[in-house]
Structure 1
Amino acid sequence: MRPLELTLRGFQSYASEQTFDFRDRRLLGVVGPIGSGKSSLLDGIAFALYGKTPRAGRGTRDLINQRTAAAHVELWFEVEGEYWRAVRALRRKGQSAHNLYRHAEADAESERHEEVTGERAMTARIEELLGLDFDAFNRSVFLAQNRFAEFLQATAAQRDAVLKGVFGFDRLDRMAEIAKARRDELRAELADLDRLRTEVESDRAVLADTAPALESAAARLAELDASSEQASGLEAAREAARGQVEQAERRLKELGDIAAQLPARDRSAELLDRATTGTDLLQEAEEALAAATGELDAARRDQTEAEKATGGSETIARATALIDRERELEKRAGTLGAHVADMTARAEATAIQHQDATARVAQLLAAEEAGRAALEEAVAAVEAAEATLHQARHDSMAVALRQELVAGDTCPVCAQSVATLPPGTSVPALDSAEKQAKGARTNRDRAQQAHTEAAAAAAAGNAEQEALQAAVDSAAQLGAAAGEDLAEARRAHAAAIEELGRLVPGDDPAGELQLRRKALAEAAGQVETATGRQAAARSGLEEVRDRQGLVTTELVQLATTVATLAGQLGGDLRPQAEAGELGESLGRLRKLWEEAHARTSGEHTAAQERAAGAETELSELLGKLGLEESMSLSDARQRAAAEHGKLAERVESLTTRVSRFEELESASADTVARLNTYATLAEDLLPSRFLKFILDEERRALAALGSEHFERMTRGRYRFTDDGEFVIADLAAAESERKAESLSGGETFLASLSLALALAEMVARTGGRLDAFFLDEGFGSLDPEHLDLAMEGIEALVGGNRLVAVVSHVPQLRERVEDLVELDTDPMTGDTVVVRA
């Protein structure tokens, strides 16, 4: 696997999109301060391939940059000359995307030869391409930060998994599977051969019995084929004759149907007779209608003259209405005259009542004025008596109070101290004052009552006077209106008499109108009588015409039937719908039927004789061939052919099975040899045998080559034991053995680096799949001397098309590596800033 290009967007510290091109680069240094995204670059490669990173695990959304909603990683890489593009995306919300494409060229626009979708399917295809799962990748190709010692400290099984993937030994597993499958197939083939051996013996016996039967069937088929032409001719002649018999029978049946459709003689004669007499009846009906129409015309002329002489029904109706109106107007005038006289009398009586009411009102007003004066005097007397009563009560209380006062006391009325007692006074009689006040109030109430009654009487009289005045005015208006109505009624009566005189002169207009009505009624009666006669004549004509129309329709139907039946009989009759021509055509039609029936009967008899002759000859031929009477030659040949085909197919099947068995039996020795070969391969390729031997050799070779690097980097102090278990041999302590866990951090880094360098060299020598090597940090634990030794070993890895990427923040790395990817950190956001890509 050789990386070509990496694109990161929204991944860890790479917020914006960054692309790193690894083409034509060998030794690459990734430098920058702590937190600048150096390890994230390598994490991007691991995530693109396996969907997880050494530090974060699988598909965690923590890999998404904190300021973005999604992370996108895309890696172009090459495997054995094929170009692949791995694309993975993480989203905070929604599903992730995982796609792997194989392109014709390292270009997204080039043709796609393969596409894998889905996280599991994509990761499985990556593991198949690289030959390494994620853990083996981290132990061999990708030495992540703080995890570079994983291969050194791994178990034997874990190391074997790495070596199998790196050197392609996983193909041995596939070889073992193929060997087992081939072995099982050959075993099944030999088992089938044993089973077939018994079956073939039976097949050979059946084949010996079946061959003679096949020869007999072929001979019988040839015999039937030889007689088939003669039999086919006889069968054809017989079937043709039978067809002619059936055709003649159908024709006879058709002639029977035609006979049933021939018009009956008596009904035809009756129809033709009705057609002949119908013309005379139609002429008589038409003449009767013409006479009735003449009578109606004369009656209408007489009616017109009568209308002119009498003025017509409208004039009579107008005059009659005028007579009625004249009588009504005369009656109305009399009624209105009486009403006017009554209204005049009422108006005069109302005027007298009004005069009397006016006199009474004057008297009532005078009485009201006198009552008002008396009331005023009574009110003044009440006021004077009340004043006298008040003073008498006041004087009486002062005298009573003085009798109880003592000089120096407080006055109960004014709340002042009494200095000197007031002089004593005499009090008039209080009872006398109260009696006078009471009498004055009684006189006032009487005066008030008298004044109220006088005022009410005056108001009533005044109202009566006003009502009578209104009645006088209304009577005058009604009298005037009644006079106008009377005059109008008299004018209308005179106008009606004048108009009636113009319409009906004479002294007795009512009698004259009676005569005119009688004359009009007589003329109308004559018209009605003539109209009835005309309607009866027209109805008679229509009835005759309807009957004649039915006759004509029947004649047309009869003519159509004659023409149709004649055509069915092979004749050509086209009669008109006339009685004479139809009578002649009916006779010719019956003659056509008789001729056709006789001819068809003869044809039927002759066809029956031909069919019987062909049947006799065919029976004789089939008898010679030994066939049953119910079986035709074609059926016999079909059965013989089926039997022959069945036997031939049986013989062919048996022959094929016997030949196949003979072929398998002749090749059985080769099959047994191949079975032994594949069985041996399947046994030898078991993981506990050949693969174990190869892996043991590779571990020893790896330990030996790693020891060379380890001993050189540690100035001859350390190497690995020769047993391939990667135990540390301390040369400074008489080659005492130490576990890897007992080494210091720097020593552990050098040991791991030595094994990684050795593994890379072995892969290069054998043409394995390892075309990339990634080392993340670890240099900080080395002193300058060991750092130089480590870099010399790393530089020795560079060769061919291999990419070696080293990540470190150690400044000395810049001096040893010319091709650098330089990163920095944005002080505001903390995102990665690519200084040099």
Structure 2
Amino acid sequence: MRLHQLTVTAFGPFASTERIDFDRLTASGLFLLRGATGAGKSSVLDAVCYALYGELPGSRRSNGVRSDHADQGRRTEVVLEATLGGRRLEITRSPEQLRPKKTGTGLTKDKAQTLLREWAADAGEGEPGWVAVSRSHQEAGEELTRLLGMSRDQFCQVVLLPQGDFARFLRADSKQRADLLGKLFDTGRFDQLERWTAERRLRQEHEVQAGRQKLRDLAARAEEAAGPLAADAAAHRPDENASAADVLAWAAMLRGTAAERVTATALALESAESARTRARTHLDAQRTLADRQHRHRSAQQDHLRLADADRESAPDRARLRLALAAGALSPLRTLHQGALAAHAAATAAESAHRATLTARAAAPWAVQLLGDLEPTAAERTLRAEATRLAEARADEQRHSRLLVERGELAAEQKRADDLAEESQDWLSGFDDQLKQLTVDLDAARDAHALLARLDSRNQELTVRQDAARRHHSLRAALSATEAQVRTLTDAALDARARTLDLQERRLAGMAAELAAQLADGEPCRVCGSPEHPAPARPSADQVTAADEQRARAAQHAAEAELDAAEHRLGALQVDAAAAETAAAGRSVAELTAALDELTAERREALHTAERLVPLGQQVERLEQERRARHERLRQAGERGAVLADRLGTVAAELDTLAGRIAAARGDAPSVAARAAAVDALAAAVTAVLDAARTTAGTTHRLAEATDALERAAADAGFADLSALAAAELPAHRREALQRQFEQLDAALEQAAARLADPELRAAAELPSADPEFAHAAEEHATAVLRAADTAHRTADDRVAALARITRDLTALADAFAPVLDAYARISRLAALLAGAPAENALRMRLESYVLAARLEQVAAAASQRLLKMSGGRYTLVHSDGLVSGTKRSGLSLHVVDAWTGRERDTATLSGGESFFASLALALGLADVVTDEAGGMPLDTLFIDEGFGTLDENTLEEVMDVLDSLRERDRAVGIVSHVADLRTRIPAQLLVRKHRHGSTVHHTTRDDA
């Protein structure tokens, strides 16, 4: 790179246009930029940097480009002509700036401009000249950066050589040197590799933690599945960091203990089942015996009561017999016919009831229950069966309630499991949700801060838009008012002309007007004669004083209206100018477009910012939900265990009730159906018995009536009619007594039959039954059986659960082994690249290692010049030895003193020694960066300040080194105000500062 010409206009301290001829300055290879402090020497270098990169150097980037001394109408511009990569180029750059409007008042904004041109031998028509290459900021910047081969930071370090920075670099610690070298040599990719490795290690660590968490979860599940058995193996329980093999061994121990428990509970269950069977058989026998003993006692009581009633009814019986005899004598035939009809009806009814009984008793269960029993015995058997079925119905109702309860328990258990699964799934995604919410929350905060700036800008643009609209409307009103003024001006002129015309015409006809005032005998006001021989006559268009007055009034009105319009026009002109100034010269369309763009940006920012409070609340709710989900998961686990235990108990009781209900209902669909069938059959038996008794009664009456008829003739039966009358009874009374005695006889017969039952007699001879005691024994045996069954099922479930968990543990151990191996490798690699002491003895990061190699090259290149500057005394060496504390090693610099033969810290150098050591370091770094950039030649270098710390001999050595830089046609510019340099360097550029801006002047050593 070689500089040729630099032209700056309104740049930095330069108020007008200043031109610098670098070809003239660099002709001798070494030139001096001098001037008073603050004159703008460094601004020349800033202009070079701005032309090449469109930005000022880093330390002065915020100062701005435009000169504060320049006229408002002068445009800021930097033009640099240079040779880059063998191509002669001209770079022109102008920043964004305000300028006065070409028309009207106010300022308007000019956009930033960039123009890149190249000198061509044939620019057109066979003539050499400049050819435009690009007008794009980005395109020109990319092309220049490619030709230069270095970034702006690298250029500012290796071309401008800021000595103050390298003095600090000489004494800097490892971190500060790493920051600078990292920018110059672009070692960010090695830092990215370190971060990538660290992130990979974190991901592997998360996988390991997830695997260990799964291992802990399976161990907890095994402990939960083992239940009380886990307490026996508590001493062998693995800790949280135990290996999969240890957890597998512990699970195998639990599974073995659970298998032994299954065998013990199976034996206990078998014993409990036998005991329950014996207790149930004994209970059934006691209940049967108690029922028979009760029926025998009831039959004895009924027979004694009925016998007493029969003895007490003897008088009534005799009275009935007399009444019947008397009735037979009188209406004997009617009685006989009635007896025949009653007997026929009773016989038919009995046949119908027996047919119904036969049909109902044909059912298999009825045949099995009744066999060949006669109706009375069948009735007793059916009553006993109805009693037994009533008890079974209670079991059936209990069974139905338990079925409902089991369904509810299963549903509740499913809800608990679903709730636990849902909570677990939710918790697994908690971190991702929280991370996303945090990102959204940060975006909302940024948008909230942006809103204030946008609102301020929106308010400013709104004010300008209103002013622009006002200006637009005022311009329309101004045009209308200007037209109105022109119209009113014409009207006022016309009115004035008319007034003058009427005035002239009135003067012309004044004689006729005066003649009209003459009267005979009165003197004329003009001539004084009282005689008026020939007075003037008015013309057809005679103007009167009234006409002239009206014309003058119209003129005054038109002139007043014109004055008012001109006043309004002036006010509108002032308002329009003020509105245009307030709108900054921008049109309504421009401001509306800017406002629309700003509104869209604000809408987007508002949409994002409005989520700030909801997102904060979401984060808080998410944390609350996480705690609630943990608690819900715990409660669901506990509730699930309780429900499982209750379900086992209910299932055992359902099995027991199902057996008893099945035995009671037989082939019927339900116990209730069997009870209904038994009740219907018992009703049919009772109906048959009642019908049989009725038939027997009608047969007896028929026999008596027939006998009475047969003896009627032979035996009157009574002594006289009074006796016959006394013996008669009403029909309803006779029938009532007859029914009473028939029922009594039938009851006596039934009681006698019950007492004659052999089963009842045999039961009465036995000791009293105790069904309550037998029932208690059966319930106890059932409870023992249920407990044994529950224990056995629980033991079976534990073995199955532990087997499943063992399979899961085995699969996890197989999958977890490669994860642990990968984590171990990546951890060691990440520690090595990050410089961790455990893996890296030098505590040197990868990026530091690469930078250390570059620093070693820089130190070697710098030492070649430092030896000459220091008269062969000093050389710079790179050190990768360990440093104290937690600092990284590998970026240390030491100076070797040939006079003492010892190596010491660079901080021990004096001020002058530090300067030329820093200069040597800067030049060495420039050489290395140039080589790194592909060997791009740097034909022009600048050295900024620092020479004031050197003594005469050292200055001579330094100047010899700088003079040697010209060996390869390299030009060196020194920026300094040291007086001794003026006599040493012939080509000079003087920068003078003035009240209204600095200027540059090419001088020579003689002019100094």
For the superposition of Structure 1 and Structure 2, which TM-score range results when normalised by the shorter chain?
Answer: 0.3 to 0.5
TM-score norm. by structure 2 comes to: 0.28
TM-score norm. by structure 1 comes to: 0.33
Instruction: Mark the structure with the bigger radius of gyration.
Output: 1
